[in-house]
């Protein structure tokens, strides 16, 4: 099989010189859009995505077609609907969406147009992380080319449907990765999460039906439309119940950190040892995060697990974004976790008390343990905080996500935390 058939998301990626409109079209670009407009009704596109079993690639893994199916359709539905691409990629250890936006921007533009057609959206927004300056520039250039070619604007490709697309650069807050906080930010409001229900599919941007999907998720849509659901199922090669390919990556002290498009369900060992070249010389793997900073640590004995949502959940963590962060044995687990918790504390929107006050308190305790000045009750207090800031105790998933690396570090590496407790003076002298 060709690269186009086995690595559909990345075979056209060229970060140094991405394809312009003509180059993208010469390699099959916008063929899926033309097929959708000429041969398929909007409901047919949604049904294809449902049958493909495409799951969200932003971390949650929610079925994409099911999400689209919740949007009101028909004559009684609101006239204005919105499609938002969540490109606010601020999860520490995650950089896959940047590759797609910088390396093949027209793929995301085509994906947005087809997805907008499926839900009959009138406008689309790509909400880009503020630091992704080059990605925003290339997306804006691709949008201008697509508009000039009739792929955007009034009566797309001569169809009755019209669609506009815009790039919106984020002011730069991690909380904007939460879809309702993103919507608030896009409206010009403070980026606080909203209460749900109502869900965005019913009442989202400016109170209208809205779908929010991740960059990698949307980028699969043109290939599903063009090649069909059975082809998409086959991409995982029977390794997982999840379908398609996945952008897996490795960062940290590996020989060759990077990103690779592989069958969904590829083992963590294959990703780390075959593609990333294993640990750097003289480094030994201590533990690893399977999908960004807000996932639980796993150990070297977990490396043979399939990197999919169900398998990693059964191991006690979450697959998240699928980009592995490796920690070597020379690193202090307290220092690693403190660094992560400082990020989460700084990025809290401050909307609810457990998150606003609990995360800084977590950092304070970890800093004391890191200096060897911890108190005997500090470990118990940290364990208490993992419960008080856990699922169901906060307004959104920010604090529960922050607690995942901490709770797993306490479980697997408790002696390191105990070593951070200050000894009485007499005992220290002895």
pLDDT in tens, 114-157: 999 999 999 999 999 999 999 999 999 999 999 999 999 999 99
State the average pLDDT over residues 242-271.
Answer: 97
In the chain, CATH 3.40.50.11540 sits at: 3-234
Residue 108 has a pLDDT of 98
**Cis ω for the linkage preceding 197 (within 30 of 0):** yes
Q: Look up the CATH number of domain 3-234.
A: 3.40.50.11540
What CATH number matches the domain at 245-328, 3.40.50.11780, 3.10.20.600, 3.40.30.10, 3.40.50.300?
3.10.20.600
Band (276; pLDDT cuts 50, 70, 90): very high
Is the confidence at residue 291, as pLDDT, over 90? yes
Residue 328 has a pLDDT of 97
* C-alpha to C-alpha distances, 399 to 11, 175, 349, 388, 409, nearest whole angstrom: 37, 11, 10, 9, 16
Q: Cβ–Cβ contacts within 10 Å for residue 402, how many?
A: 27
CATH topology of domain 333-419: de novo design (two linked rop proteins) (1.20.1440)
Mean pLDDT lowest among 188-192, 340-344, 376-380, 424-428: 424-428
- Give the three-class secondary structure for 250: strand
Band (425; pLDDT cuts 50, 70, 90): low
Record the tokens describing residue 23, joined without a space: 């180059």
CB 420 within 8 A of CB 334: yes
Name the residue among 42, 172, 195, 63 with its Cα closest to residue 120.
42
CA 242 to chain centre: 16
Note if the pTM is more than 0.85: yes
pLDDT per residue over 35-73, tens digit each? 999 999 999 999 999 999 999 999 889 999 999 999 999
Residue 141 has a pLDDT of 98
Residue 426 has a pLDDT of 47
CB 57 within 8 A of CB 100: no
Residue 172 has a pLDDT of 77
In the chain, CATH 3.10.20.600 sits at: 245-328
Nearest-angstrom CA–CA distance, 111 and 148: 17
State the average pLDDT over residues 226-250.
Answer: 96
For β-strands 123-128 and 164-169, DSSP reports them as parallel
């Amino acid at each position: 099989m060709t690269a186009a058939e086995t690595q559909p998301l990345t075979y056209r990626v060229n970060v140094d010189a991405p394809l312009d409109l003509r180059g993208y079209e010469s390699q099959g670009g916008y063929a899926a859009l033309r097929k959708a407009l000429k041969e398929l009704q909007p409901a047919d596109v949604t049904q294809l995505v449902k049958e493909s079993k495409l799951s969200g690639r932003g971390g949650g893994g929610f079925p994409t077609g099911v999400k689209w199916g919740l949007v009101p359709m028909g004559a009684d539905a609101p006239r204005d609907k919105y499609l938002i691409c969540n490109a606010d990629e601020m999860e520490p250890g995650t950089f896959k969406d940047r590759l797609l936006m910088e390396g093949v921007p027209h793929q995301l533009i085509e994906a947005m147009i087809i997805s907008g057609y499926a839900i009959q959206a009138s406008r689309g927004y790509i909400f880009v992380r503020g630091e992704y300056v080059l990605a925003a520039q290339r997306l804006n250039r691709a949008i201008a080319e697509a508009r000039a070619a009739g792929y955007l604007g009034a009566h797309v490709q001569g169809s009755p449907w019209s669609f506009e697309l815009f790039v919106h650069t984020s002011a730069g807050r991690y909380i904007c990765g939460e879809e309702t906080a993103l919507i608030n930010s896009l409206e010009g409001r403070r980026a606080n999460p909203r209460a749900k229900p109502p869900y965005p599919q019913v009442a989202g941007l400016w109170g209208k039906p809205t779908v929010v999907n991740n960059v990698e998720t949307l980028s699969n849509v043109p290939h599903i439309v063009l090649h069909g659901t059975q082809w998409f199922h086959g991409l995982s090669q029977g390794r997982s119940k999840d379908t398609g390919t996945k952008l897996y990556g490795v960062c940290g002290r590996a020989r060759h950190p990077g990103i690779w498009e592989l069958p969904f369900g590829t083992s963590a060992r294959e990703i780390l040892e075959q593609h990333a070249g294993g640990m750097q010389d003289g480094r030994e793997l201590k533990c690893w995060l399977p999908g960004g900073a807000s996932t639980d640590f796993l150990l070297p004995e977990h490396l043979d697990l399939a990197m999919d949502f169900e398998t990693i959940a059964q191991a006690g963590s979450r697959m998240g974004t699928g980009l592995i962060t490796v920690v070597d044995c020379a690193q202090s687990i307290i220092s690693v976790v403190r660094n992560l918790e400082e990020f989460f504390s700084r990025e809290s929107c401050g909307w609810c008390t457990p998150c606003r006050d609990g995360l800084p308190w977590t950092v304070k305790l970890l800093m004391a343990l890191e200096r060897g000045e911890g108190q005997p009750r500090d470990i118990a207090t940290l364990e208490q905080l993992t419960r008080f800031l856990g699922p169901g105790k906060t307004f959104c998933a920010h604090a529960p996500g922050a607690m995942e690396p901490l709770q797993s570090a306490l479980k697997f590496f408790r002696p390191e935390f105990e070593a951070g407790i200050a000894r009485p003076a007499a005992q220290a002298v002895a």
